[in-house]
Structure 1
Amino acid sequence: MDDSLQSLDQVRASAIDMAVRFGPKLFVAVLILAAGYVAGSWIGRLLDRLLAKLTLEPPVRSLLVRIARALVLVLFAIMALQNLGVELLPLIAGLGVAGAGVALAMQGILGNVAAGLTIIFTQPFHVGDYISIAKEEGEILDISIFSTTLGHSDRSKVVIPNRKIVGEILHNYGRIRQLAISVGVSYQTDVNAALGIIETLLNANPRVLRDPAPVFGVTQLAESSVTISVTPWVAVPDYGPAGAELNQAILETFRTQGIAMPFPQREVRMLS
Structure 2
Amino acid sequence: MFVEDIEKLEKIYDLAIEYLVTYSFQLLAAFVIFIIFLLLANKVGKILNQTLVKRHVDVTLSQFLANLLKFLVLAAGTVVALGKIGISITPFVAAIGAASLGAGLALQGMLSNYGAGLAIILTRPFTIGNTITVRDITGVVKEVKLASTVLVNEEEEDIIIPNKFLIGDVLHNSYQNKLVDSSIGISYDSDVKLTIQLISDILQEFDGVDSRRPAQIGIDSFADSAINIGVRYWATTQSYYDIKYQVNLAIFETLKHQGIKIPFPQREVRILSD
Report if aligned partners of 2:154, 2:239 keep a CA contact under 8 Å in 1. Answer: no
Give the structure 1 partner of residue 79 of structure 2. Answer: 78
Give the structure 1 partner of residue 51 of structure 2. Answer: 50
Report if aligned partners of 2:131, 2:141 keep a CA contact under 8 Å in 1. Answer: yes
Q: Does residue 125 of structure 1 match 2:126?
A: yes
Distance 1:9 1:157 in 2: 61
Deviation of 1:66 (Å)? 0.8
Any idea what SS the aligned residue of 2:150 has? strand
Change (3 A) 1:52 1:260: same
Change (3 A) 1:15 1:215: closer
Q: Does residue 197 of structure 1 match 2:211?
A: no
Aligned residue identity for 2:49: D
Report if aligned partners of 1:181, 1:247 keep a CA contact under 8 Å in 2. Answer: no
Report if aligned partners of 1:112, 1:146 keep a CA contact under 8 Å in 2. Answer: yes
Q: How many correspondences in the alignment?
A: 268
Distance 1:130 1:12 in 2: 65
Change (3 A) 1:10 1:236: closer
Moved more, 96-105 or 220-229: 96-105
Aligned residue identity for 1:32: I
Distance 1:92 1:202 in 2: 64
Give the structure 1 partner of residue 168 of structure 2. Answer: 167
Give the structure 1 partner of residue 158 of structure 2. Answer: 157
Give the structure 1 partner of residue 240 of structure 2. Answer: 239
Deviation of 1:15 (Å)? 5.1
Any idea what SS the aligned residue of 1:209 has? coil
Report if aligned partners of 1:134, 1:165 keep a CA contact under 8 Å in 2. Answer: no
Distance 2:45 2:61 in 1: 13
TM-score scaled by length of structure 2: 0.87
Deviation of 1:119 (Å)? 1.9
Q: Structure 1 regions of 5+ residues with no counterpart?
A: none
Q: Structure 2 regions of 5+ residues with no counterpart?
A: none
Distance 2:111 2:73 in 1: 23
Any idea what SS the aligned residue of 1:18 has? helix
Give the structure 2 partner of residue 90 of structure 1. Answer: 91
Deviation of 1:65 (Å)? 0.7
Distance 1:10 1:218 in 2: 95
Distance 1:177 1:201 in 2: 18
Report if aligned partners of 1:127, 1:142 keep a CA contact under 8 Å in 2. Answer: yes
Deviation of 1:208 (Å)? 1.1
Distance 1:253 1:75 in 2: 71
Report if aligned partners of 1:116, 1:145 keep a CA contact under 8 Å in 2. Answer: yes
Change (3 A) 1:13 1:203: closer
Give the structure 2 partner of residue 62 of structure 1. Answer: 63
Give the structure 2 partner of residue 24 of structure 1. Answer: 25
Give the structure 1 partner of residue 40 of structure 2. Answer: 39
Deviation of 1:200 (Å)? 2.1
Identity %: 31
TM-score scaled by length of structure 1: 0.88
CA offsets 1:8-47 (integer angstroms, 9 cap, x no match): 9988765554332222222222211111111011101111
Change (3 A) 1:66 1:12: closer
Give the structure 2 partner of residue 255 of structure 1. Answer: 256
Any idea what SS the aligned residue of 1:169 has? coil
Distance 1:226 1:17 in 2: 97
Deviation of 1:124 (Å)? 2.4
Aligned residue identity for 2:86: G
Report if aligned partners of 2:33, 2:77 keep a CA contact under 8 Å in 1. Answer: yes
